[in-house]
């Protein structure tokens, strides 16, 4: 009904283009992303195996993937995604369907239909997104949903925006309302959850130019999460049919991001005082921890160095976490790095991960690192490669009673062709 009312109110058979020329880059979430045209197919087999396909056309996007891995326990993962764009004067619609499957000791299956839309009228740009999640958890059906509508008054001074968003979980709707004004390169956003007994204000301030972005934010109150936003297939968690709400006494965060040619750097930090925080308890069940203070510092760098015959790219992420009470499986320090080097037709890649000591369910877990490598030959639009996971044959305990499997081998092919 809301979507129908917006269509009737905003549709114009010959609307003018949105007056975006007066706003500073980057645009505050107005225009939809473009779809890449091409087809990609990949497959690998050995001690771990899988396949994936990705097709992008003018209006159609299709992707599917399946893999079986045994890094520390045998896990089957599958996913599929389909979307189709419908473009008419003043209206852009993109219905979509996503399916996800994760099976280990427990089986999790999710079907998620959704839609994105953009409506353009003489004085208003409306953008929205809705998604419904139909979960099969432990042979029990769980229904959740999320949505967002962003109204941009692009003809008014400071290009004000109003955002109504929310989630449906635990058989209840949890809406939020935010407003934003854009003054040159500054973007000020203020909002809160609606109809909550505990005040839940949100404030963020962002300064953005084409190569620089600085933001800070403050929040407090209740935080609701859906299963799809919390779900992590790399953890041996037994998920409940609904997640308990978290409550913040205070949260503050700041980030600094800069892009220079092919180099991208980002530093961010946060401080949170939790009244109730989600954690992992006995038996890998979701639990809550009360009255805890938590701080995080993150540094990431992505660099690409293209040359005539040699091409290097590297992605590095460092993170420091601290809390006044131990949180399960969260290390004080973590480092992840992905390096890709191409020499003519030869391509070498290495994924490195290091985690410091951390608290388990009932004991302290040791620090460990893993290195996954691959060596490939690229000929025209195809690449043949050999992959070695856990190159150093590390067999450390990474979760309580779960150990790294050891070194594993697989060979594969990737076909990538632009259309």
Higher local confidence (pLDDT), 39 or 241: 39
Arithmetic mean of pLDDT over the chain? 88
Q: Is residue 357 part of a domain?
A: no
- What's the pLDDT band for 375 if we cut at 50, 70, 90? very high
- What's the pLDDT band for 106 if we cut at 50, 70, 90? confident
Q: What is the pTM of this model?
A: 0.84
Q: Read off the pLDDT of residues 119-158 as tens digits, 9 standing for 90 and up.
A: 998 889 999 999 999 999 888 899 999 999 999 998 888 8
Residue 96: predicted pLDDT: 97
Show the domain range for 59. Answer: 1-221
Q: Is residue 238 part of a domain?
A: no
Residue 172 has pLDDT above 60, yes or no: yes
Q: Is residue 34 part of a domain?
A: yes
Q: Is residue 394 part of a domain?
A: no
367 backbone dihedrals φ, ψ, rounded to 5°: -65, 150
Q: Is residue 279 part of a domain?
A: no
CATH number, domain at 119?
A: 2.40.160
Q: Is residue 144 part of a domain?
A: yes
Q: How many domains does the chain have?
A: 1
Residue 196: predicted pLDDT: 63
Residue 25 has pLDDT above 70, yes or no: no
Residue 195: predicted pLDDT: 67
Residue 29 has pLDDT above 50, yes or no: no
Q: Is residue 370 part of a domain?
A: no
Q: Is residue 43 part of a domain?
A: yes
């Amino acid at each position: 009904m809301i979507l129908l009312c917006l269509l009737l109110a905003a549709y114009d058979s010959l609307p003018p283009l949105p007056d975006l020329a007066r706003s500073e880059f980057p645009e505050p979430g107005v225009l939809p992303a473009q779809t890449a045209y091409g087809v990609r197919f990949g497959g690998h087999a050995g001690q771990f195996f899988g396949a994936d396909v990705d097709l992008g056309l003018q209006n159609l996007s299709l992707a599917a993937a399946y893999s079986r891995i045994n890094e520390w326990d045998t896990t089957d993962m599958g996913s599929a995604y389909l979307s189709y764009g419908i473009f008419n004067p003043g209206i852009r619609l993109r219905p979509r369907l996503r399916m996800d499957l994760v099976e280990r000791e427990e089986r999790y299956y999710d079907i998620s239909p959704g839609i994105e839309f953009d409506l353009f009228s003489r004085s208003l740009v409306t953008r929205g997104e809705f998604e419904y999640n139909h979960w099969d958890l432990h042979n029990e059906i769980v229904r959740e949903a999320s949505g967002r509508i962003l109204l941009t008054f692009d003809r008014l001074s400071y290009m004000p925006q109003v955002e109504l968003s929310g989630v449906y979980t635990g058989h209840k709707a949890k809406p939020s309302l935010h407003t934003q004004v854009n003054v040159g390169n500054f973007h000020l956003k203020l909002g809160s959850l609606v109809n909550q007994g505990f005040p839940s204000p949100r404030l963020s301030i962002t300064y953005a130019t084409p190569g620089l972005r600085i933001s800070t934010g403050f929040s407090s109150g209740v935080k609701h999460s859906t299963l799809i936003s919390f779900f992590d297939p790399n953890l041996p968690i037994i998920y409940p049919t609904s997640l308990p709400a978290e409550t913040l006494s205070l949260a503050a965060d700041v980030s600094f991001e800069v892009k220079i040619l092919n180099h991208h750097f980002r530093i961010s930090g946060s401080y949170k005082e939790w009244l109730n925080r989600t954690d992992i308890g006995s038996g890998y069940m979701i639990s809550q921890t009360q009255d805890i203070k938590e701080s995080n510092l993150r540094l990431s760098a992505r660099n690409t160095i293209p040359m005539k015959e040699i091409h290097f790219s590297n992605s590095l992420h460092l993170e420091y976490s601290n809390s006044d009470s131990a949180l399960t499986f969260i290390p004080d320090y973590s480092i992840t790095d992905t390096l890709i080097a191409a020499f003519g037709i030869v391509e070498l890649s290495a994924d490195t991960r290091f985690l410091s000591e951390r608290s388990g369910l009932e004991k302290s877990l040791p620090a460990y690192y893993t290195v996954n490598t691959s060596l490939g030959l690229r000929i025209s639009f195809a690449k043949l490669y050999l992959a070695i996971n856990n190159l150093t044959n590390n067999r450390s305990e990474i979760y309580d009673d779960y150990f790294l499997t050891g070194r594993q081998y697989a060979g594969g092919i990737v076909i990538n062709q632009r259309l």
